Amino acid sequence: NWRGFSGGQRDMFDEVLKYGSLIVDAFVAYEQPVFVFIPPFAEIRGGAWVVLDASINANVMEMYAASGSARGGVLEANGAASVKYRTKDLIATMHRLDEKLIDLDKQLSQAEQSTAESRRNEIKEAIANRERALLPVYEQISVQFCELHDTPGRMQAVGVIRKQVDWSTSRTFFYWRLRRKLAEFDLRKKIIEASEVGRGVKSPTPLEASDMIKQWFMESPGMTEEKWEDDKIMLAWMGQNHAHLESKVIEYTKECVVQEVMQVMTAGGNTAKIGTRGIVE
């Protein structure tokens, strides 16, 4: 269970922060697929999460977690509860949910108007005793509540992991996922290189190139969003339509050339004259 950089003397001596930043720099420059997988009963917390987060390089990084028992987040559940759910918040929750405290609050409000001070003090003491009795229970509930935000289901819902993967099928899943990504990366590299015909045409980002591949996939008969997410189907489609995809890249290259020529032709001053003369020659 990696908890990252604690800021203590030992971590400072071992230069944990320095080497963590080197890992981040390496991920930023990396161009091949990277999969981060949180296995069963494992946790990634604090600085370790910051170093491994897929948003460091969304072009190549994807994050996954084992179904059920994996946990992840910057703060541990105890730390999040102590920050987000302090004692005053727990007491307010008690008075909102506990029937006995709700009844005592009603009695106190009635006693404020007509009952003697001794009776009001008795009610206040009963409220304080009830709060002390419930506090340990509510503290455990608050920790459990915060831990629910670190489950694989919640991580997938907020988008910090791509998918939950069963441990029993993880090897097969990542085998096909890697094959699909390597083929996809090779094709999108060709798309990016095809747009590098001049200075006037903006090259697509790797994610934009992937969107273009997805558009070509969806244009094929019988292909759907669900099939796009299936690595085996996607890989088979790329193999069966290799010649078609090559022609798509050539067409895209022609479009980029046309855009570059049009920008040169429509430019003002010497740029248009020199560009036109070069095209004619």
Q: In degrees, to the nearest 5, what angle opens at C-alpha 85 toward C-alphas 79 and 91?
A: 140
Q: How far apart are CA 72 and CA 144, in angstroms?
A: 14
For β-strands 163-165 and 61-66, DSSP reports them as: parallel
H or E stretch covering 37 = strand 34-38
Q: Which residues contact 131 (CB under 8 A, 6 or more apart)?
A: 91, 94, 101
pLDDT given at position 75: 81
pLDDT digits (tens, 9 = 90+) for 106-165: 888 887 776 677 788 888 889 899 999 999 999 999 999 888 888 999 999 999 999 999
pTM across the whole model: 0.76
Beta bridge partners of 165: 66
Dihedral, 27, 30, 32, 35 alpha carbons, nearest 10: 0
Q: How confident is the model at residue 1 (pLDDT cuts 50, 70, 90)?
A: very low
pLDDT digits (tens, 9 = 90+) for 27-64: 999 999 999 999 999 888 877 888 888 999 999 999 99
pLDDT digits (tens, 9 = 90+) for 230-276: 999 999 999 999 999 999 999 888 888 877 777 766 665 565 555 55
pLDDT given at position 7: 59
Q: Which residues contact 36 (CB under 8 A, 6 or more apart)?
A: 52, 54, 61, 62, 63, 64
| pLDDT of 280 over the 60 cut | no
For β-strands 43-45 and 71-73, DSSP reports them as: parallel
Beta bridge partners of 44: 2, 72
Q: How confident is the model at residue 69 (pLDDT cuts 50, 70, 90)?
A: confident
Give the distance between the most distant pair of CA atoms in the chain: 107
- What SS3 state is found at 32? coil
| pLDDT of 81 over the 90 cut | no
